[in-house]
C-alpha cells in the first residue's frame, strides 16, 4: 500500500467488548479488523496484535469523521513533541489512542451498513483463504454486536436496501438472511449459541459460488439463459468446494451450504438438528429473495413473501415460516405501510405486538412528502396500520442515515396529522 499513511495504535487504549471506532491494519497496511470489530478477550487482542507486529491505523482515507478526530489528536501529539524540542526519536513513540477516537468528542452516528455490505462483498469475492477467514470473523462479530444493540436497525437497513435495489445484491442478501436466521433462532426458537453461530456462517457463505452471477442477474432485464440455469443449479456445490479450498472442515457447515435449497417439510418436528437448521436457512433465503427488487421485477409485497414461507405446498401452516414472521414482524422494519390517518410511513421499529410497529411518516394524507418525519404509535387507533404499501409505489427518496437515527428514537411524536 504505497499511498498508505500508517500510524501505530496504543494497544493499551483498546477496550474489550466495545466496537472499534476505526479499522486496524498491520505494519504493511493489511486489514486486521474492520471498524466496529469487538475484541471479546485480551488473548484475542494480543494474538492479533502480535500477528501484525502491532496495530496501525491507515489515514489515507479520512472520509470517516472518527478517523479525522483520531488523526487530529495524533498530529497534535507530534506537534507537541516538536515544540518540546526533545529527541527526534521520541516522535516514533507517538501512538493513536483508541480512547480519543471513541470519546464524546466524536460525533456519534448510526452504524454504517453500506460499509458492512462492502466488506461482505469483498469477503465473498476473495480467493485468499486468510483474508476470507479474517473478514468472516469480523463480519460475524460486528453483526452479533449490532443485533444485541439494535436489531430493528439491522432489519430496517437491510430490508430497505434490499427492496430499493442495493448495489451489491449478493452481499446484501446474505447479510439479510443471516439477520433473519439469527433473530428467529435466538429470540423465537431459543436455539443454542452453537446453532446460531453455525447459521451465521452458513448464511454468509451459502452463495459464495455465485456472487458475480447473482449480482448480474439482479441487473439483468431478460430471462436467464441455459448456462445461467446450470450455474444456478450448481452454485451450492461450487460454494462447498470454495469453502473446502479455504480450509473449512466443519461437515455441518459444508452440509448446510450444500443443501440450503432443499425443502424440508415440518423441519421443527425433525429429530435431526441439521434438518431444523436447513429448514430455517431455506425459508429465510426464500423470504429475503422475494422482498428484494431486481431490474426484471419489483420486490414482492409483504403478504406474498410471507405466504411463500407460511403456507406450504400442501396448503398447511408452516411452523418455521410462522417463527420467521414472528421474529421480523408482520409489518417488518424497512417496509412501507398506510395508516388510518391516511398517511404513509416507514416501519422503523417492531414493538411488543407484531401488528403495531413504530412508523415514521414519509407522505402526508395528501400523498405529499413530509419534511419532518413524525413517529406514530400504531397501537393508537387513529394511527393504526391499515395495509402494507409496495415500496415501488412510494416515490420518495429517503436518507438512510436519517431513518436509522429514527429507529433509535423511543419517543413518539404526536404532531397533528399533516394536510
Axis crossing angle, helix 319-328 with helix 302-310, rounded to the nearest 10: 140
Pair 358, 414: CB distance under 8 Å: no
The DSSP letter of residue 21 is S
pLDDT digits (tens, 9 = 90+) for 307-349: 889 886 666 789 999 999 999 999 999 999 999 999 999 999 9
For range 96-111, the mean pLDDT: 53
pLDDT digits (tens, 9 = 90+) for 24-62: 888 888 888 888 888 888 888 888 888 878 899 888 776
Find the helix or strand (DSSP H, E) in which 347 lies. Answer: strand 344-349
Task: Tell me how many helices (H) and strands (E) the chain has.
Answer: 15, 9
Ramachandran quadrant class, 104 (left: phi over 0; alpha: psi -120 to 50; beta: rest): alpha
Q: What is the pLDDT of residue 21?
A: 82
Ramachandran quadrant class, 165 (left: phi over 0; alpha: psi -120 to 50; beta: rest): left
Q: What is the pLDDT of residue 411?
A: 61
Q: What is the pLDDT of residue 232?
A: 93
Measured torsion, CA atoms of residues 384, 386, 387, 389, in degrees rounded to the nearest 10: -80
Given a cut of 70, whether residue 103 has pLDDT beyond it is: no
**Confidence band, pLDDT 50/70/90 cuts, at residue 228:** very high
pLDDT digits (tens, 9 = 90+) for 156-189: 999 989 988 778 999 999 999 999 999 999 999 9
Q: Where in the chain is the domain with CATH 1.10.3210.10?
A: 113-328
Pair 343, 365: CB distance under 8 Å: yes
State the fold for domain 113-328. Answer: Hypothetical protein af1432 (1.10.3210)
The DSSP letter of residue 275 is H
Q: What is the pLDDT of residue 197?
A: 96
**Confidence band, pLDDT 50/70/90 cuts, at residue 101:** low
For range 373-387, the mean pLDDT: 94
- Kindly state the cell numbers that stand for 124: 465473498
For range 227-255, the mean pLDDT: 96
The DSSP letter of residue 342 is S
Cβ atoms < 10 Å from Cβ of 287? 24
CA quadruple 242, 309, 318, 357: dihedral sign: positive
Most confident range (mean pLDDT) of 44-48, 113-117, 241-245, 298-302 is 241-245
Pair 232, 220: CB distance under 8 Å: no
pLDDT digits (tens, 9 = 90+) for 257-268: 999 999 898 898
- Kindly state the cell numbers that stand for 43: 488473548
Cβ atoms < 10 Å from Cβ of 392? 14
> From CA 406, how far away is CA 153, in angstroms rounded?
9
Amino acid at each position: 500500500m504505497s499511498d498508505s499513511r500508517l500510524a501505530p495504535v496504543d494497544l493499551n487504549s483498546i477496550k474489550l467488548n466495545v466496537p472499534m471506532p476505526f479499522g486496524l491494519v498491520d505494519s504493511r497496511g493489511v486489514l486486521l479488523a474492520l471498524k466496529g470489530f469487538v475484541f471479546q478477550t485480551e488473548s484475542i487482542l494480543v494474538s492479533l496484535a502480535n500477528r501484525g507486529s502491532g496495530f496501525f491505523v491507515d489515514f489515507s482515507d479520512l472520509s470517516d469523521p472518527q478517523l479525522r478526530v483520531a488523526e487530529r489528536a495524533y498530529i497534535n501529539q507530534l506537534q507537541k513533541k516538536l515544540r518540546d524540542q526533545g529527541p527526534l526519536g521520541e516522535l516514533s513513540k507517538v501512538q493513536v489512542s483508541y480512547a480519543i477516537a471513541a470519546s464524546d468528542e466524536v460525533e456519534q452516528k448510526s452504524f454504517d451498513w453500506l460499509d458492512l455490505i462492502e466488506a461482505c462483498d469483498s469477503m465473498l469475492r476473495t480467493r485468499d483463504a486468510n483474508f476470507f477467514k479474517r473478514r468472516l470473523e469480523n463480519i460475524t462479530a460486528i453483526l452479533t454486536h449490532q443485533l444485541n444493540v439494535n436489531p430493528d436497525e439491522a432489519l430496517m437497513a437491510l430490508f430497505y436496501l434490499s427492496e430499493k435495489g442495493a448495489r451489491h445484491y449478493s452481499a446484501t442478501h446474505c447479510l439479510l438472511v443471516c439477520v433473519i436466521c439469527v433473530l428467529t433462532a435466538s429470540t423465537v426458537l431459543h436455539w443454542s449459541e452453537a446453532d446460531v453461530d453455525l447459521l451465521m456462517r452458513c448464511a454468509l457463505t451459502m452463495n459464495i459460488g455465485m456472487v458475480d452471477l447473482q449480482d448480474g442477474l439482479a441487473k439483468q432485464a431478460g430471462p436467464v439463459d441455459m448456462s445461467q440455469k446450470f450455474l444456478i443449479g450448481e452454485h451450492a456445490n461450487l460454494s462447498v468446494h470454495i469453502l473446502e479450498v479455504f480450509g473449512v472442515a466443519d461437515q455441518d457447515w459444508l452440509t448446510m451450504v450444500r443443501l440450503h435449497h432443499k425443502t424440508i417439510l415440518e423441519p421443527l418436528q425433525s429429530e435431526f438438528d441439521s434438518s431444523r437448521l436447513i429448514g430455517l436457512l431455506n425459508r429465510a433465503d426464500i423470504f429475503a429473495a422475494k422482498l428484494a427488487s431486481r431490474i426484471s421485477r419489483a420486490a414482492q409485497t409483504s403478504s406474498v413473501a410471507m405466504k411463500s414461507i407460511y403456507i406450504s405446498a400442501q396448503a398447511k401452516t408452516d411452523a418455521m415460516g410462522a417463527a420467521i414472521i414472528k421474529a421480523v414482524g408482520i409489518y417488518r422494519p424497512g417496509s412501507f405501510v398506510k395508516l388510518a390517518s391516511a398517511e404513509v410511513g416507514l416501519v422503523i421499529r417492531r414493538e411488543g405486538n407484531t401488528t403495531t410497529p413504530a412508523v415514521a411518516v414519509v407522505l402526508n394524507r395528501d400523498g405529499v412528502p413530509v419534511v419532518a418525519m413524525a413517529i406514530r404509535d400504531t397501537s393508537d387507533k387513529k394511527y393504526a396500520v391499515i395495509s402494507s404499501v409496495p415500496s415501488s409505489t412510494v416515490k420518495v427518496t429517503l436518507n438512510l442515515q436519517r431513518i436509522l437515527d429514527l429507529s433509535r428514537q423511543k419517543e413518539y411524536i404526536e404532531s397533528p396529522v399533516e394536510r
